[in-house]
A and B are shown apart, each in its own frame.
Chain A
């Protein structure tokens, strides 16, 4: 199992943080442009899914799967979005994203007086802790399965 990369967006669609573990194919555009496209797609998928859903949707977790990878979207009550790409077989990603939110984002960004909440995150401690949590998760492995 493998974790590829992670995007974090605030409620206005601004990219707060991007982290990458394994990514063999780059998109060939700038990070900002890529983030905008990603956010746009997430936004559309979310509204589409809510519209066509035959039952009530309450959970802030969504995932889709292609042949090669799986995208996980986790949205907090404060509407911060975590988008994580993994391989198809990855397990327990919802728990991992929740852990990233409560144990990394809340602790090292929200409780860090040096981090403004609506700007891209510059804290090195945050990046280090994020990396640590992801590397410790069972879904992370050095090579794709």
Chain B
């Protein structure tokens, strides 16, 4: 689909834009992308949840992220959702879209985190607007699979 291609390419350019130049450190660049994702997610979720009712609880919101949000943004569902019922959720995507064209295996593994930062922010932004404050981190051991860990901040 053409609109997906535009999103993919724009994201690619966003990543290469924040990483260009030597002045900026890896952490700073990742933080920038994460912030972009946060702002996008914060607004996006308002639009996407227009029609849906209120959510029952936290788990209900996470299910929404895994199904509807992921389908809307990445055209597929999260493959596996795990939780310890104490505020930690782990979302497995076995074929993450931003990584699926890059490699199958370990090639380019060191660059993979760059392509997850935006999505971490996106998830955090969505949850923030739905009333959940959290920290989202991502991990890759083998492309194109990755997992996002959501740690809900209580208190």
Task: Name A's B-contacting residues (CB within 8 A).
Answer: 107-108, 111-114, 123-125, 128
A–B complex contacts, Cβ < 8 Å, 7 sampled: A108-B101, A111-B5, A111-B8, A113-B15, A114-B102, A124-B107, A125-B101
Nearest A residue to B11, CB-CB = A113
A112 to B111, CA, bound (A): 12
Task: Name B's A-contacting residues (CB within 8 A).
Answer: 5, 8-9, 12, 15-16, 101-105, 107-108, 111, 115
Partner among A107, A108, A113 whose Cβ is within 8 Å of the Cβ of B16: A113
A108 to B5, CA, bound (A): 13
User: Would you call A114 and B104 a contact (CB within 8 A)?
Assistant: no
The 3 A-B pairs with the shortest beta carbon distances in the complex, nearest first, are A111-B101, A113-B12, A125-B103
- What residues of chain B lie closer than 8 Å to A107, measured between beta carbons? 101
Which of A113, A114, A125 is the most central at the interface, judged by chain B CB atoms within 10 Å of its CB? A113
User: Would you call A112 and B104 a contact (CB within 8 A)?
Assistant: no
User: Would you call A111 and B9 a contact (CB within 8 A)?
Assistant: yes
User: Would you call B8 and A123 a contact (CB within 8 A)?
Assistant: no
Nearest A residue to B144, CB-CB = A125
A57 to B15, CA, bound (A): 42
A125 to B5, CA, bound (A): 19
